Amino acid sequence: MRQLADESGDIVLAQSYEPFGDLLTSAGTATTTYGFAAENFDLVTGLIYLRARMMMSSLGRFLTRDTFPGFYNRPASLNPFTYAENNAVNFTDPSGRFLDTLLDIAFVTYDIYLLGEHWAQGCDLTADWIALGLDVAGLVIPGVTGLGMVSKVDDVYDIVRISNHFDNVGDAAHFVGAVQNVEVATTVLRNVSRG
């Protein structure tokens, strides 16, 4: 929160923050529990509540580990206690799960891309709209990522059906390796698009 207004629109509280959320300046008589990045600030503990985890702004660190292990090619993502990959000037972490939020944004972006592609091809857009709606819900609900994949259960079924035709374990391993290479390529593309 930067400024708080009353019902007439007058500014009754103005605050500024250090990059990781320490209060820098405060002017006004009003009080609020909302502070840095419009998140709840616990007056008793001095911690910022980011839904999934609590952060100590003076250290710029969460008190508990992130459940996401990070990307090996993004060293800043490997520390499970840092806030927004130690880049609070350019990023925020509203859920306490920074990469979870980025993945949600990537899924929504991909859904929009598919809508455009399928619309241009004259395809039925029902499944694409459902996937987009579910991925937007995943963006809004902390800790829930990739809900749009649920709407693509028939794709998962196709993979299982194909895998039933493998003659031996080697063929199955080759198929799984190819799928993993696609997943790695997708992850790399997402990372490159983030900068």
Could you tell me if 90 and 106 lie in one domain? no
Could you tell me if 65 and 27 lie in one domain? yes
Q: Give me the pLDDT at residue 13, please.
A: 92
Q: What is the DSSP code (8-state) at residue 183?
A: H
Number of domains forming the structure of the chain: 2
Residues 6+ apart with CB under 8 A from 18: 24, 57
Could you tell me if 103 and 88 lie in one domain? no
pTM of the model: 0.48
Q: 175 lies in which domain range?
A: 99-194
Strands 54-56 and 3-5: unpaired
Give the closest residue to 187 by CA, choosing from 66, 65, 67, 70: 70
Q: Give me the pLDDT at residue 28, please.
A: 92
Q: Give me the pLDDT at residue 125, please.
A: 85
Give the closest residue to 103 by CA, choosing from 41, 72, 147, 62: 147
Q: Give me the pLDDT at residue 88, please.
A: 81
Dump pLDDT digits (tens) for 117-143: 889 999 888 888 888 888 787 776 655
Q: Give me the pLDDT at residue 12, please.
A: 93
Could you tell me if 80 and 50 lie in one domain? yes
Q: Give me the pLDDT at residue 187, please.
A: 53
Question: Is-contact 40 33, C-beta < 8 A?
Answer: yes
Extract the residue ranges of the chain whose pLDDT is less than 70: 1, 94-102, 140-195
Q: Give me the pLDDT at residue 168, please.
A: 47
